[in-house]
């Protein structure tokens, strides 16, 4: 009977078999979306180690360089600050950044003579020369403190590097999606499993709860939870996660209602296995396919919801960069000559959401038991 139990569990429809993964990876569009997401995750993990602006929250403001176009370059003099700034280890820098011990001063022109460096400040206006400053500096240190800096994606209204803020902003979107999906899976799988397996009055309560939460618009529910918990980084995770479990619970309940009547489940009952073991060891592994597909869609939805909350000003709070808050801060520039400030973050989360939707569709096709490749021989 044990062999019969294992064989039946192995060939249940919708399971994440090796053949299904091979079929998914043969889909070029799905593979491209997966590679894009992996690159985005790598950028988010490395964080400040690879951003041009490695200060906390990528918040180095150079007001003289406000709203510069992509590809803009300028000479920068790094003046040593008088404050004693502690230096942290590489792991701390990767997660939280490192305060710079230099003050960045844009330079329009400079002259070095007998140990004296005379700088003309950059004003950004043609025909207007800035103030002159003089620094006593060794000739060997000029190359280290007088650098040519290029802003690949330009600067925002406060003179901050747009590329750095986009890269750090990916952390917020991916983190919100990941933690929200984890919360929704924990709640949804538990609730759906109880209703689908035990049926009876427990199932009626689960269905009633699903219908009640389902009837409330998601964005309004998230806004209500956010107002109750307060504005902030972690509050967004909880608010989005507690509103996305309904779809997972509905899918899980439907899958378990179908699988609980299979022969191998009856064999598990005959062997005297506990309900907990039957649900989590024999039923749920064979119901993971549709759950993973809906989780990919929920990941994309969570990113969009976070962007909407940040755009409304009740999500992640500045100066922490997020793609939604970047759009909110710069959407007025759409009608001016700096539309890229709002278009770039919009394009960023459009691509990440599209990638997750493509992966969800690819997994759905790979797990479709009606296709010959998904049926084990």
Domains by residue range for the chain, with CATH: 2-41+164-374 (1.10.3720.10), 72-151 (no CATH)
- What pLDDT score was predicted for residue 368? 64
Give Rg (Cα) of the chain: 27
Look at residue 104 and tell me whether its pLDDT is greater than 60: yes
How confident is the model over 278-333, as pLDDT tens digits? 888 888 888 888 888 888 888 988 888 888 888 888 888 888 899 989 999 998 88
How does DSSP assign 169-198, residue by residue?
HHHHHHHHHHHHHHHHHHHHHHHHHHHHHH
Helix 18-26 to helix 28-46 angle, to the nearest 10 degrees?
Answer: 90
CB-facing half-sphere around the CA of 216: CA atoms within 13 A: 16
- What pLDDT score was predicted for residue 15? 53
Is the Cα dihedral 243, 348, 333, 156 positive or negative? positive
Read off the pLDDT of each residue in 253-261 and give the average, rounded to a whole number: 87
Look at residue 7 and tell me whether its pLDDT is greater than 50: no
How does DSSP assign 119-183, residue by residue?
EEE--SSTT----EEEEE--GGGHHHHEEEEEETT-B-TTS-BHHHHHHHHHHHHHHHHHHHHHH
Residue 290 CB contacts under 8 Å (≥ 6 apart), including other chains: 14, 251, 255, 367
- What pLDDT score was predicted for residue 209? 92
How confident is the model over 146-157, as pLDDT tens digits? 899 999 999 999
How confident is the model over 232-243, as pLDDT tens digits? 777 888 888 888
Structure-block tokens of residue 9: 């569990």
**pTM, rounded to two decimals:** 0.85
* Alpha carbons 351 and 84: distance in angstroms, whole number: 42
Of the listed ranges 21-25, 108-112, 205-209, 336-340, the least confidently predicted one is: 21-25
Using a pLDDT cut of 90, give the percent of the chain over it: 33
- What pLDDT score was predicted for residue 337? 83
How confident is the model over 266-288, as pLDDT tens digits? 888 888 888 888 888 888 888 88
Read off the pLDDT of each residue in 201-213 and give the average, rounded to a whole number: 91
Q: Which residues pair with 134 in a beta bridge?
A: 118
Answer with the residue of higher pLDDT: 164 or 133: 164
């Amino acid at each position: 009977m044990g062999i019969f139990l294992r064989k039946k569990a192995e060939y249940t429809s919708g399971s994440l078999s090796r053949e299904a993964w091979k079929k998914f990876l043969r889909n070029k569009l799905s593979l491209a979306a997966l590679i894009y997401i992996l690159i985005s995750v790598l950028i988010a993990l490395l964080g400040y180690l690879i951003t041009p602006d490695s200060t906390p929250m990528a918040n180095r403001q150079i007001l003289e360089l406000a709203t510069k176009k992509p590809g803009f370059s300028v000479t920068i003099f790094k003046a040593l600050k008088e404050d004693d700034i502690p230096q942290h280890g590489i792991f701390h820098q990767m997660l939280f950044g490192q305060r710079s011990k230099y003050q960045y001063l844009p330079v329009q022109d400079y002259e070095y003579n007998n140990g004296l460096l005379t700088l003309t400040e950059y004003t950004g206006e043609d025909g207007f020369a800035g103030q002159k400053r003089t620094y006593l500096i060794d000739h060997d240190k000029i190359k280290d403190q007088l650098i040519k800096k290029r802003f690949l994606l330009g600067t925002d209204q406060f003179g901050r590097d747009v590329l750095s803020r986009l890269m750090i902003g990916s952390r917020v979107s991916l983190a919100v999606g990941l933690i929200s999906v984890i919360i929704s899976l924990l709640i949804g799988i538990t609730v759906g499993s109880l209703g689908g397996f035990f049926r009876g009055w427990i199932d009626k309560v689960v269905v009633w709860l699903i219908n009640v939460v389902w009837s409330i618009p998601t964005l309004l529910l998230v806004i209500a939870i956010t107002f109750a918990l307060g504005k902030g980084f972690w509050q967004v995770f909880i608010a989005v996660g507690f509103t996305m479990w309904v779809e997972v619970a509905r899918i899980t309940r439907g899958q378990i209602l179908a699988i609980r009547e299979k022969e191998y489940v009856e064999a598990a009952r005959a062997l005297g296995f506990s309900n907990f073991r039957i649900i989590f060891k024999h039923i749920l592994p064979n119901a993971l396919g549709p759950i993973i597909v809906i989780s990919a869609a929920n990941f994309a939805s969570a990113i969009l919801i976070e962007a909407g909350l940040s755009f409304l000003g009740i999500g992640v709070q500045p100066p922490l960069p997020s793609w939604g808050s970047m759009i909110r801060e710069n959407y007025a520039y759409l009608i001016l000559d700096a539309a890229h400030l709002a278009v770039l973050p919009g394009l960023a989360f459009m691509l990440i959401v599209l990638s997750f939707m493509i992966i969800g569709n690819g997994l759905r096709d790979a797990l479709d038991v009606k296709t010959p490749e998904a049926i084990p021989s």
